[in-house]
Structure 1
Amino acid sequence: MAKKHHIELRMWGLRNRFHSLTAILVIVLFIATVYLAEENRWLEENPTPPDNSGDLLSRCNLFSGRWVFDNLSYPLYSEQKCSFMSDQLACEKFGRKDLKYQNWRWQPHQCDLPRFNATALLERLRGKRLVYVGDSLNRGQWVSMVCLVDSVIPPGLKSMHNNGSLSSFKATEYNASIEFYWAPLLVESNSDDPVNHRLPDRIVRVQAIEKHARHWTDADILVFNSYLWWKRDKMKVLWGSFERSDGVYKEVEMLRSYEMALKTWSDWLEIHVNRSKTQLFFVSMSPTHFWGDEWGMEEGNCYNETEPIEKGHWGRDSDPKMMRRVEAAIDELRMRGVKVQMLNITQLSEYRKEGHPSIYRKQWEPLTQEQLSNPTSYSDCIHWCLPGVPDAWNEILYAYILSS
């Protein structure tokens, strides 16, 4: 009888332990379910975790790679559906039939670029200003970025405003703006009018930047460029004011005047930029494709080109001396405690001889019969079709923004 009672007690104890374990297991499963649901919700709201991007930048050169044809994932947006596409860059709209230029993806050798996620970027830009400053190539990169985020914003919650040199795209729900400021030489010049700027006699005030810079002062992300408008042997430099007649003018060798302008730009950044808040970028020289002999043609340019250049290539219009001047300015700023990241897009863009508008763009002036008979004579081999090469520049910029 005692033995039977002892067995019953043991069985009761086992049942109690089993119920306890079951209760614990139920609690653990409940906690795990809640945790996973919360984690899934967070991942939906934050599709590209910033930590991964930080690791990516430390272990990978994003500017060394190759172009991969990808007609499944690219283009990242539709030319026709972008509300704010520029007629200067809308190659399909103006008659281009071969659209493969839209399907090339930049693939770094050592890693993959994070997939561009417009919602994730807009979250990063919530309450902030991203401002592109420079010439028409930087404006093209700005249009690209606007088109990259445009599709995820409902029509009533976005707007575009133009105020002289400043164009602002606003995403109302995020209180975010993506802007472009026209300053082709960064410092003040007689080419500062955003419409009427093609003057035969170019003049710069290499020590004057405040007229422009007051429009960027409170920006959270600044993306600069300035090369194309400096491409001449000498620049006419003005010490004085355009409004007064007592100014001193002097022809200065281009590299020296460029150096002086970069010094003025650097000094402004050192004094005015909020180092704990503002991310700074300088986009390297965007290449041209005016000389067919560079890729094996006897004559011609980017007109009728349909494939990228496959092997290493460096065009004669891409000036390493100018790039070294920018690198020196950035290195000096770093020593003064101001970090500027160079977006070195030159080599990766050199391959893309087929990515320019060529003749497929709005012509701002009527073409002559002589031009019409020779399309290479009026081909635009400077700017880039969209969707296209500037999207890759922005994908790289996006990786840096996430890493912050």
Structure 2
Amino acid sequence: MTTQASPDRRIQLLFPVALASLLILGTARIILDSLKNNRSQFLWQESEKHRVVRLPINISGDEIIPEGCNIFEGQWVWDNVSFPLYTEESCSYLVKQVTCQRNGRPDSNYKNWRWQPNACKLPRFNALKLLEILRGKRLMFVGDSIQRGMFDSMVCLVQSVIPEGKKSLQRIPPRKIFTAEEYDASIEYYWAPFIVESNSDHATNHTVKRRQVNLDSISKHGREWEGVDILVFESYVWWMYKPLINATYGSAQSVQEFNVTTAYRLALETWANWIETSVNPRNQKLFFMTMSPTHLWSWEWEPGSDGNCFNESHPIERPYWGTGSNLDILRIVREVLKQVKIDVTLLNITQLSEFRKDAHTSIYGERKGKLLTKEQRSDPQTYADCIHWCLPGVPDTWNQILYAHLIQDYRIL
């Protein structure tokens, strides 16, 4: 014999279900309110197969850059306690081109300078927090060998907190891919010295003297950038070989000589058009890094001298802007970014890097894939590399600034 529950009994049975539902909804509301109030940050990403749930990221007050503070204006201060952020020995991923001390550099002071903005402090780099931000995501650096140095720096900054066997580095030209397996995250580098396509796009076998740029062609590169969560672009040094550059525009068969600044603007406009047609601003975040300065002529910071960055051991401690940084190019970058309809964050690292005449690889790096010989090192006027940077060194500060932007971004990337 069956009996039917009375209405009162049914209400009693439904009450726990309703209460549980209210508790779930209430918990969700608390989390959403917490997100809105920026008390803590819960990041997640919807993937095709599953939802990647992230751990809370607690952001303290001293990690927030105050509104109105220009982090690109400041000075380098000596800090041999908290810097460098890693060592050559602790990062096996460094290439010979940047391991200056291992290559024979007798001094190490270049590692111990910390960038101090005038009106605030940069947050100290926290690898675990960055990896949480990158969980389930791809961070890609795009550009030339200067940008490759920034990639190498970032890998060294995060790799020490990842257990052995849970990290790997692949070289798949024109890309390098560092993977943090437990975070389902990758830090990547893509070789594109002009951003647009050129005859120098082969990652290892690229022409230096006979450069030709396709100013309105970017689709081949763009296919590799589509869907990347965080893109950091840079392009400068390869443009500055001569005042004129061979290029095509409109017709792939018609090669003409362009003034470099004209060609650069056309290339950047092609890149900007790709951004507006191919980037989803809700899911992707973009940065553009300004020019990395060179220190080829010591008379610029020491009148009457006839050297370069070789044997320099201290930063410049007065207002300084060298001829290695082209103001016309900087102006073009600002103008094009201002016109782009999608937000691109400008990382203006040029001025702070201008002071660091002491931090280049000089004679303690590679030339054409080989360390300099004893005879070459004895001729720094010819062989000193005053373009690339030692690691640890200045590119670590660039990444610290990138980290400061990412840690403050409360949007879902």
**Fold match, TM over 0.5?**
yes
**Partner-residue secondary structure (3-state), 2:188:** strand
Q: How far apart in 1 are the matches of 2:190 and 2:251?
A: 22
- What is the aligned-residue RMSD (CA, Å)? 2.1
Residues 113 and 218 of structure 1: is their aligned pair in 2 closer, same or farther, counting only changes over 3 Å? same
Task: Give structure 2 stretches of 5+ with no counterpart.
Answer: 1-38, 43-54
Q: Is the contact made by 1:357 and 1:381 (CA closer than 8 Å) also made in structure 2?
A: yes
Residues 129 and 299 of structure 1: is their aligned pair in 2 closer, same or farther, counting only changes over 3 Å? same
Q: Is the contact made by 1:94 and 1:362 (CA closer than 8 Å) also made in structure 2?
A: no
Letter in 2 for 1:59: G
Q: Percent identity?
A: 49
**TM-score, normalized by length of structure 2?**
0.82
Q: How far apart in 1 are the matches of 2:230 and 2:371?
A: 39
Letter in 2 for 1:378: Y
Matched, 1:236 2:246: yes
What is the 5 A alignment of 1:50-69?
53=63, 55-56=64-65, 58-69=67-78
Matched, 1:299 2:281: no
Matched, 1:324 2:324: no
Matched, 1:262 2:258: no
**Partner-residue secondary structure (3-state), 2:324:** coil
Q: How far apart in 2 are the matches of 1:288 and 1:79?
A: 23
Letter in 2 for 1:237: A
- Shift of residue 139 of structure 1? 0.5
Q: Is the contact made by 2:216 and 2:250 (CA closer than 8 Å) also made in structure 1?
A: no
Task: Give structure 1 stretches of 5+ with no counterpart.
Answer: 1-38
Q: Is the contact made by 2:57 and 2:129 (CA closer than 8 Å) also made in structure 1?
A: yes
Q: Which residue of 1 is the match for residue 362 of structure 2?
A: 358
Q: Which range moved further: 192-201 or 216-225?
A: 192-201
What is the 5 A alignment of 1:3-402?
49=59, 53=63, 55-56=64-65, 58-231=67-240, 232-239=242-249, 247-297=253-303, 298-333=305-340, 336=341, 338-363=342-367, 364-365=369-370, 371-402=376-407
Residues 159 and 252 of structure 1: is their aligned pair in 2 closer, same or farther, counting only changes over 3 Å? same
Q: Which residue of 2 is the match for residue 13 of structure 1?
A: none
Q: Is the contact made by 1:48 and 1:117 (CA closer than 8 Å) also made in structure 2?
A: no
Q: Deviations over 1:245-293 (max 9, x none)?
A: xx11111111111111001100000011011111110000101111100
**TM-score, normalized by length of structure 1?**
0.84
- Shift of residue 48 of structure 1? 5.4
Q: Which has the larger radius of gyration?
A: 1
- Shift of residue 234 of structure 1? 1.1
- Shift of residue 371 of structure 1? 3.6
- Shift of residue 116 of structure 1? 0.5
Q: Is the contact made by 2:127 and 2:161 (CA closer than 8 Å) also made in structure 1?
A: yes
Q: How far apart in 2 are the matches of 1:369 and 1:399?
A: 42
**Partner-residue secondary structure (3-state), 2:266:** helix
Q: Which residue of 1 is the match for residue 33 of structure 2?
A: none
Q: How far apart in 2 are the matches of 1:133 and 1:238?
A: 22
Q: How far apart in 1 are the matches of 2:151 and 2:323?
A: 26
Q: Deviations over 1:361-393 (max 9, x none)?
A: 234358678644422310010010000000000
Q: How far apart in 1 are the matches of 2:381 and 2:164?
A: 39
Q: How far apart in 2 are the matches of 1:48 and 1:67?
A: 28
Q: How far apart in 2 are the matches of 1:378 and 1:108?
A: 34
Q: How far apart in 2 are the matches of 1:182 and 1:285?
A: 16
Q: How far apart in 2 are the matches of 1:241 and 1:296?
A: 47
Q: Is the contact made by 2:366 and 2:372 (CA closer than 8 Å) also made in structure 1?
A: no
- Shift of residue 240 of structure 1? 7.3
- Shift of residue 46 of structure 1? 5.8
Q: How far apart in 2 are the matches of 1:215 and 1:374?
A: 41
Q: Is the contact made by 2:363 and 2:377 (CA closer than 8 Å) also made in structure 1?
A: no
- Shift of residue 303 of structure 1? 0.4
Question: When the two structures are aligned, how many residues end up with a matched partner?
Answer: 355
- Shift of residue 238 of structure 1? 2.1
Q: Deviations over 1:183-240 (max 9, x none)?
A: 0000000000111113321101111101111111111110000011111211111247
Q: How far apart in 2 are the matches of 1:50 and 1:283?
A: 27
- Shift of residue 50 of structure 1? 7.2
Q: Is the contact made by 1:90 and 1:386 (CA closer than 8 Å) also made in structure 2?
A: yes
Letter in 1 for 2:269: K
Q: How far apart in 1 are the matches of 2:324 and 2:215?
A: 23
As a proportion of its length, which structure holds more helix? 1
**Partner-residue secondary structure (3-state), 2:258:** strand
Letter in 1 for 2:404: A
Q: Deviations over 1:72-124 (max 9, x none)?
A: 00000111110210211110110112101001000111111111000000000
Q: Which residue of 1 is the match for residue 6 of structure 2?
A: none
**Partner-residue secondary structure (3-state), 2:269:** helix
Q: Is the contact made by 1:47 and 1:117 (CA closer than 8 Å) also made in structure 2?
A: no
Letter in 2 for 1:282: F
Q: How far apart in 1 are the matches of 2:330 and 2:210?
A: 24
